[in-house]
Homo-oligomer: A and B are copies of this chain.
Amino acid sequence: MKIILLSLGNIDLPYLKDGISYYEKKLSHYTKLELLELTLNKNKQPKEHEAIKVAEGELILNKVGESDYLVLFDDKGVHIDSIAFSKWIEEKQIYQRGNLIFCIGGAFGFSDDVYHRANYKMSFSKLTFNHQMFKLIALEQLYRAFTILKNEPYHHK
């Protein structure tokens, strides 16, 4: 099983690029990981928020195979703690045939089609985070999850 982290738009803040590389490298010791940044073609980018969501949704769904498990980070999703998240990942590693795809939405959220395809919705917080920063947060939680599963001393209590 490969873990894929899908996100919309490029990361343009240098500090975030550095942070993302930092965790990407650390995670490579624990799992196959692919970071995919999807971007709408600038010339074809619609102006309406709803149309952007739909166009981004098509980009997302193009990357999701039939046997993949699609998880949306969504404010209406299940709130989970770090220990539960690690156990959840472990279960997926055992039972999941396709890839485990985590998807961070764009600034306007997910289209109906994406919600319809999704297998699970997860929320890390009631807060809204900068969606570039959220990628860093998700990677740190993935890294934490694997250190918990390996009983490594990164996570306290």
Evaluate whether A144 and B126 lie within 8 angstroms (CB atoms) in the complex, with A15-B18, A156-B107 already known.
no
Please name all residues of chain B whose beta carbon is closer than 8 Å to the beta carbon of A136 when the two chains form the complex.
133
CA distance A7 to B13 in the complex (A): 24
Evaluate whether A129 and B133 lie within 8 angstroms (CB atoms) in the complex, with A18-B14, A18-B18 already known.
no
Please name all residues of chain B whose beta carbon is closer than 8 Å to the beta carbon of A156 when the two chains form the complex.
107-108, 128
Q: For window 63-87 of chain A, which residues contact chain B by CB distance below 8 Å?
A: 79-82, 85
A interface residues, tally (CB under 8 Å): 31
Please name all residues of chain B whose beta carbon is closer than 8 Å to the beta carbon of A141 when the two chains form the complex.
127, 129
Nearest-neighbor residue (CB-CB) of A14 within chain B:
B18
Task: Evaluate contact between B81 and A126: CB separation under 8 angstroms.
Answer: yes
Nearest-neighbor residue (CB-CB) of A125 within chain B:
B125
Q: Does A140 contact B (CB under 8 A)?
A: yes
How far in angstroms is the closest Cβ of chain B from A116?
21
Q: Does A36 contact B (CB under 8 A)?
A: no
For A92-105 the 0/1 string (1 means CB < 8 A from B) is 00000000000000
